[in-house]
Amino acid sequence: MGLWKKICAGISLSFSLIFVWLWYEQYARWRGCFDEDGRCYEDGLVHLEQAGIAWGVCAGLSFLCFLVFYALIRLNK
């Protein structure tokens, strides 16, 4: 059973890192570009300010899952 917790912890951490990267690519790079409507027109693409919230929440929840699995692994040692 401990192996499954380690696998789930690794997957959760991986998803967390992917979501942080997506948050950076979709929001953090364009922070100074957003207009009053929350849009940034750059390179033929429209970046939305709401993307920061969406990717940030996904990253936070994935990292929280990682912490839960990590705590369960540490408790069983």
Domain ranges of the chain: 2-75
CB atoms within 10 A of CB 17: 14
Work out the pLDDT band at 72, boundaries 50, 70, 90.
very high
Identify which of 23, 7, 5 has the alpha carbon closest to the alpha carbon of residue 61: 23
Radius of gyration (Cα) for the chain, nearest Å? 17
Model pLDDT for residues 42-68, shown as the tens digit of each residue:
888 888 889 999 999 999 999 999 999
37-41, 63-67, 73-77: segment of lowest average pLDDT = 73-77
Distance separating alpha carbons of residues 51 and 42, to the nearest angstrom? 15
Distance separating alpha carbons of residues 15 and 66, to the nearest angstrom? 9
Instruction: Look over the chain and give the mean of its residue pLDDT values, rounded to a whole number.
Output: 92
Mean pLDDT for the stretch of residues 4-12: 95
The pLDDT score that the predictor gives to residue 1 is 67
